[in-house]
Amino acid sequence: MVYRLVLLRHAESLGNKEDRITGWNDVDLSERGIAEAREAGRTLKEAGFTFDVAYTSLLRRAIKTVWFVLDEMDLHWIPIVKTWRLNERHFGRIEGMRKSELAEKYPVGSATSWRRQNNVSPPKLDKDNPKYLREDPRYSHLKEDEFPNGESRHDMVRRVEPYWQQTIIPEIQSGKKVLIVSHGDLIRTLTMVIAHANIEEAASIAVIPTATAIIYELDSQMNPIKQEYLDRPSITPR
């Protein structure tokens, strides 16, 4: 038995457009992003895909991407499951900063180590910082040791892998056609988990472009047989 799974990165957000490290900042889609999401939906439909359930994060740029994709596919009625475990990586104190600002505020090489060294976290937010979201109703149910505040790659694996194993795999094995719409660094981590890759290989996994899909074929043990990208035409906002 061969199963198929589709991972889709959210469409262009205002954070992408401004070249910011967005993380858990809840920014909206850009005008181009809306067009990208709709085009991604049309591309998936034309390629013959359909879905029974969609999984996404609690961040609006991913949620709205799902809306537009499913609307274009005439699948606006299927369940959309939202979870913090599919949120983007939490970048702590550097969230919201333009990437060009990092060198001005932090020592040379720090940003590279946060992104490339799997056990190194960005600097944590102070609890009185307005960006500290512990009391946000989306996250207030989390235990103290679950709530992220500047994540390393190891931290991301710890929150993503159990959800993959305990929630998504059973859905795929039950025969459901699953779509996951998430974020660049989260998808990089999830592809590593799916492929049973060593965590040290994570830094070499490229972040896919916005609104681009990765198609997996999986065997009955959920081992990847094939991985390919579903390209979509370049577009102009409408």
**Is 88 annotated as catalytic?**
yes
- Give the CB-side neighbour count of residue 50, counting CA atoms within 13 A: 7
Measure the CA–CA gap between 203 and 195, rounded to whole angstroms: 14
Domains and CATH numbers, the chain: 3-230 (3.40.50.1240)
Contact 26, 13 (CB under 8 A): no
Residue 119, classified by CB atoms within 10 Å of its CB into exposed (0-12), middle (13-18) or buried (19+), is: exposed
What global pTM score does this model have? 0.92
Beta bridge partners, 13, equal 29
Residue 33, both tokens: 């992003």
Residue 109, pLDDT score: 52
pLDDT-above-90 percentage for the chain:
70
Beta bridge partners, 135, equal none
Mean pLDDT, range 71-83, rounded to an integer: 98
Contact 86, 160 (CB under 8 A): yes
- Give the CB-side neighbour count of residue 34, counting CA atoms within 13 A: 5
Catalytic option among 36, 88, 95, 151:
88
Residue 117, pLDDT score: 59
Contact 149, 124 (CB under 8 A): yes
pLDDT tens track for 142-194: 998 899 999 998 999 999 999 999 999 999 999 999 999 999 999 999 999 99
